[in-house]
Amino acid sequence: MNDHRLEYIKEFNDSIFSNETIKNKNTLIFIYTPPKVGSTTLVTSFRISCARRVNVLHIHDENMLSIITGIKNNNNVTVNELIYYNASIGKTVYVIDVYRTPIERKISEYFELITSYHFNTSDNNIGNYKIELLIKRFNSLFPFVGNGDYFFDKYDIDIPENFDFENKYLLVEKNNVKYIKLRLCDSNEWSKILTNILNMDIVIVKDYQTENKIIGDVYMKFNEQYQIPENLFETIIQCKYFNYYTSEIEKQNYLNKWNSKIGISVFEPFSLEKYGFYKEISNENQTFNFIQRGHYLDHGCICNSCCNKRMQIFLKIKNGEQVDTKIIHEEAVQEKKIRKVQRIGNICNKLQNKLNEMSKKKRPGKIPNFDMKIK
């Protein structure tokens, strides 16, 4: 890498991590995954668990990198270049990818863009479309959504011969970067896995699940009614990622599950040429950008108010409570002010009660009034 290129990467990196507090954190976690595999849950979980200790960057590709940071990437700095650069300047760098079973991933990725891209309509209106039409469009797109695996295709690392089904993760280190591969089906184990790897107490907070969105009812109805065509099911059986990340028992159980939901024998999806035309038209028709910056339960602010609220949520999760409260700076600040007023009020009440008790022990007389106005 020449000096000019290195300077471009440094400038872009400094723009992303411009705050001094952020710069001073030595651990950087890249959640660098395809969409709809549980990556938002990981981002929120790290923020809730260790926001003061780590920086978390959530990205799917270079286009998203520019959009979520709001910084123009004029020199086409890649995600991998950012990863390598931060490792080279002494940061402790982790890169995490997640595997999700193929049919569920395809459906979820399709639904992520179903209103903004595939049908150019609103979330509230998609329920007026017939499920049969949504299924037909999905089958037409089947070969082109939810494909690829970042651990294999993006990271430029040596892939172990077999997935570690006993420990339920992979950890590969290259050039001072630690690459972690998880599976969504093991999300109940993520807390233990990540706590052991990072040597930090990590709790898992499920976030941004499709069934909890406005389109959740349509999504669940789609899943109930969907029957996969036999020829499309065959492509899943032959998928190299599916065969790598699932054990023989898991594979058989998964295939049996979907074998009971096979529909017609043959469905002809879009050809590559037709899909190219479809993308061109869909891009032209799209009315708003589908990348959402604010969908996390935890927005990542590390002010005292947000960190106080974060600690409350962390302790609730450790106690087994369900949490769906968002950590938004303005709301956290207001809540902290309210708690402060309540604490002062409690102190005043205790003092007044103490004075009342003292006055009863002395001779009768006028009881001093300790009524304080709180502003």
Between CA 354 and CA 359 the distance in angstroms is 9
* 4-34: pLDDT as tens digits: 899 989 988 888 887 766 777 899 999 999 9
Q: How do residues 44-63 score in pLDDT, each as one tens digit?
A: 899 999 888 899 999 998 88
Residues 94-151 pLDDT 10s: 999 999 999 999 999 999 999 989 999 999 999 999 999 999 999 999 999 999 999 9
Give the model's confidence band at 65: pLDDT under 50 very low, under 70 low, under 90 confident, else very high. Answer: confident
Q: Evaluate whether residue 310 is within a structural domain.
A: no
At residue 177, does pLDDT exceed 50? Answer: yes
Q: Considering the domain boundaries, does residue 187 fall inside one?
A: yes
- Residue 171: pLDDT above 80? yes
pLDDT score recorded for residue 83 = 95
Confidence of residue 351 (pLDDT cuts 50, 70, 90): confident
Which is more confidently placed, 276 or 358?
276
Q: What is the DSSP string of 160-189?
A: PSS--TTTT-EEEEETTEEEEEEEGGGGGG
pLDDT band at 316 (very low <50, low <70, confident <90, very high): confident
Cα distances from 54 to residues 102, 230, 315, in angstroms, run 31, 46, 19
Residue 346: inside a domain:
no
- The better pLDDT of the pair 259, 322 is held by 259
Q: How confident is the model at residue 330 (pLDDT cuts 50, 70, 90)?
A: low
Q: Is residue 354 part of a domain?
A: no
Q: What are phi and psi of 177, to 5 degrees?
A: -115, 135
- Rounded mean pLDDT, 279-307: 71
CA distance 46 to 207: 12
Confidence bin at 374 (pLDDT 50/70/90): very low
Closest CA to 100 of 209, 212, 246: 246
Looking at residue 63, what is its pLDDT? 83
Residue 337's pLDDT band (boundaries 50, 70, 90)?
low
Q: Tell me, what's the pLDDT at 62?
A: 87
Say yes or no to pLDDT of 375 above 50.
no
Pick 326 or 135 by higher pLDDT: 135
In 3D space, the residue among 330, 318, 321, 323 whose CA is nearest the CA of residue 294 turns out to be 330
Per-residue pLDDT, 176: 95
Percent of the chain with pLDDT over 90: 59
Residues 6 or more apart from 145 whose CB is under 8 A from it?
A: 106, 109, 110, 138
Per the confidence metrics, is the pTM higher than 0.85?
no
pLDDT of 155 reads 95
Residue 317 in any domain: the answer is no
SS3 percent helix, strand, coil of the chain, rounded to 5, is 55, 10, 35
Kindly report the average pLDDT of the chain as a whole number.
86
Q: How far apart are CA 253 and CA 242, in angstroms?
A: 13
Minimum mean pLDDT range among 32-46, 75-89, 107-121, 344-358: 344-358
| Pairwise CA distance, residues 18 & 145, whole Å | 35
Neighbours of 100 (CB within 10 A): 23
User: What integer is the mean pLDDT of 348-364?
Assistant: 73
For residue 350, pLDDT beyond 90: no
Q: Are 54 and 201 in contact (CB under 8 A)?
A: no
**360 lies in some domain:** no
SS3 56: strand
The tens digit of pLDDT for each residue in 213-255 reads: 788 899 999 999 999 999 999 999 999 999 999 999 999 999 9
Q: Are 30 and 42 in contact (CB under 8 A)?
A: no
CB neighbour list of residue 306: distance below 8 Å, 6 or more residues apart:
51, 299, 327, 329, 332
SS3 101: coil
Higher pLDDT, 196 or 22: 196
- Residue 149 inside a domain? The answer is yes
Which domain, by its residues, includes 130? Answer: 3-296
155 domain-assigned: yes
Question: Greater confidence, 191 or 297?
Answer: 191
Number of domains composing the chain: 1
